C-alpha cells in the first residue's frame, strides 16, 4: 500500500516548553525525511521512489543524506548497483511502514470513508517446518475477534531470530528452541506431533508389508542434516538397524513433499496430516513411527501482550 503525497506529515517545530528549556536535548524526527527514506526502501531504489513521489533524483538523494546525518546512522549500503537496508535501516523501515500505514488509514477516515484498523502480525516461519502444520496453527487467528492481518515471511531460524531482535518480526515459528533466549523474549512449545511414513502409491505397497524392516535400503527423501527433525529420524533408523537409500536432502518442506509426490522416495510427515497428505500431494500412509516428533516453537517479545494473546490462540491444537 503506497501513500500518496497528500499524506499528513507531523510537524517538527520546536514547542514553547522546548524553548523554555534550551539545555534539554530532545531528539526530533523529521517525518518528511522519514517518508522519503520509506519510499526508497519500499520501492527498492531511488529511481523508483522518484517516479512514485514525482521528485528529482538529487532531491531524494539529498534528503536521504540529511536523514542519515540526523539519526547518526547509515540506513542503506550499496551492493553493486543495489541499495540494501542496513541493520538500523531495517529497524527504521519497520517503524516507518507502521507509521505511514496508520497515516493512510487516518487519511481515509478523514475523507469519510471506512478505514479498517487491524493489528498487523509479522511472522517469520522457518522453512523446515511442515507447511500444513503451520497453516493449521495460524488459521484460528483469522477467526478471532478483531483478527490480525498476518504477514508471513519464509525464513530460516537464524534470520527469524535476527529479525525478531530488530523488531522487524513480531513472532518467529521455529522447528527447535533457540540455544539462547534474549532478555525480554520468551519461547513456547506450540505443538509436538507424532510422525508417520508416507509415499506415492507406487511405493506404499512395496514397503508397508514387513515394516519397519522393509525400509532397509528403501528410497527416502529427508530434511537436511542440520535440522533437529532429521537428527531424530537418523536416530530412529539407527535404532532399528536400517540403512535407507537417501535420494535427496531438502530443507524446504513444501519442496520435499512435492518431490515425494513424484514417487522418488518415502518421507516423514505428521500423523494428524494423513488426510491432507492424500488430498494435496497424493501420498499414502505407510506406517506410524514411534520416537520421532515434529515440534513447533514460538519465540516472541515478552513486552508485547497482543502477540502473547495470539500465541495463546494458536496453542489450541
User: CB 119: neighbour CB atoms within 10 A?
Assistant: 15
What is the CATH architecture of 120-191+297-314?
A: 3-Layer(aba) Sandwich (3.40)
Residues of the chain with pLDDT under 70: 1-28, 105, 108-109, 112-119, 303-305, 315-317
Cis bond upstream, residue 212 (ω within 30): yes
pTM above 0.75, yes or no: no
pLDDT value of position 235: 95
d(CA 55, CA 94): 24
Domain positions in the chain:
16-110, 120-191+297-314, 193-293
Helix (H) or strand (E) holding 201: helix 201-208
pLDDT value of position 303: 67
- CATH of range 16-110; options 3.30.110.70, 1.10.10.10, 3.40.50.300, 1.10.3720.10: 1.10.10.10
CA distances from 67 to 30, 34, 36, 58 (A): 8, 7, 9, 14
| Residues 6+ positions from 51 with CB-CB distance below 8 Å | 43
DSSP 87-141: HHHHHHHHHHHHHHHHHHHHHHHHTT-------EEEEEEETTS-HHHHHHHHHHH
* Tens of pLDDT, residues 155-190: 888 888 888 887 778 899 998 888 877 777 889 899
Q: Which of 261, 252, 255, 256 is nearest to 284 (CA)?
A: 261
pLDDT value of position 220: 97
Q: Is 63 within 8 Å of 36 (Cβ atoms)?
A: yes
Instruction: Give the up-direction half-sphere exposure of residue 27: CA atoms within 13 A in the CB hemisphere.
Output: 7
* Tens of pLDDT, residues 270-309: 999 999 999 999 999 999 999 899 999 999 877 666 777 7
d(CA 56, CA 60): 7
pLDDT value of position 112: 65
pLDDT value of position 27: 54
d(CA 33, CA 65): 9
Q: Is 298 within 8 Å of 187 (Cβ atoms)?
A: yes
d(CA 53, CA 40): 10
CATH of domain 193-293: 3.40.190.290
Report the DSSP pairing between strands 171-174 and 149-155: unpaired
Helix (H) or strand (E) holding 308: helix 305-314
d(CA 153, CA 207): 37
- The yes-or-no answer to whether 120-191+297-314 and 193-293 have a common fold is yes
Amino acid at each position: 500500500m503506497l501513500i500518496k503525497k497528500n499524506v499528513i506529515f507531523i510537524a517538527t517545530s520546536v514547542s514553547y516548553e522546548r524553548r523554555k528549556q534550551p539545555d534539554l536535548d530532545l531528539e526530533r524526527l523529521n517525518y518528511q525525511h522519514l517518508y522519503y527514506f520509506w519510499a526508497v526502501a519500499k520501492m527498492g531504489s531511488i529511481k523508483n521512489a522518484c517516479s512514485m513521489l514525482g521528485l528529482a533524483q538529487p532531491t531524494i538523494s539529498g534528503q536521504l543524506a540529511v536523514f542519515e546525518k540526523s539519526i547518526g546512522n547509515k540506513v542503506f549500503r550499496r551492493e553493486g548497483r543495489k541499495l540494501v537496508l542496513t541493520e538500523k535501516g531495517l529497524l527504521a523501515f519497520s517503524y516507518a511502514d507502521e507509521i505511514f500505514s496508520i497515516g493512510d488509514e487516518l487519511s481515509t477516515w478523514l475523507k469519510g470513508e471506512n478505514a479498517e484498523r487491524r493489528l498487523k502480525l509479522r511472522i517469520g516461519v522457518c522453512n523446515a517446518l511442515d507447511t500444513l502444520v503451520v497453516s493449521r496453527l495460524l488459521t484460528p487467528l483469522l477467526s478471532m475477534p478483531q483478527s490480525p492481518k498476518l504477514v508471513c515471511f519464509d525464513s530460516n531460524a537464524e534470520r527469524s531470530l535476527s529479525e525478531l531482535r530488530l523488531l522487524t518480526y513480531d513472532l518467529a515459528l521455529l522447528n527447535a528452541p533457540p540455544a539462547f533466549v534474549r532478555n525480554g523474549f520468551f519461547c513456547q512449545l506450540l505443538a509436538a506431533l507424532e510422525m508417520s511414513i508416507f509415499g506415492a502409491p507406487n511405493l506404499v505397497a512395496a514397503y508397508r508389508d514387513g515394516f519397519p524392516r522393509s525400509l532397509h535400503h528403501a528410497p527416502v527423501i529427508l530434511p537436511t542434516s542440520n535440522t533437529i527433525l532429521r537428527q531424530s529420524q537418523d536416530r530412529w533408523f539407527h535404532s532399528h538397524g536400517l540403512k535407507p537409500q537417501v535420494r535427496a536432502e531438502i530443507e524446504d518442506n513444501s519442496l520435499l513433499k512435492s518431490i515425494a509426490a513424484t514417487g522418488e522416495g518415502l518421507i516423514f510427515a505428521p500423523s494428524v496430516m494423513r488426510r491432507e497428505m492424500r488430498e494435496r500431494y497424493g501420498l499414502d500412509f505407510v506406517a506410524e513411527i514411534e520416537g520421532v516428533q515434529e515440534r513447533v516453537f514460538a519465540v516472541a517479545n515478552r513486552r508485547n501482550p497482543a502477540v502473547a494473546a495470539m500465541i495463546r490462540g494458536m496453542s489450541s491444537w
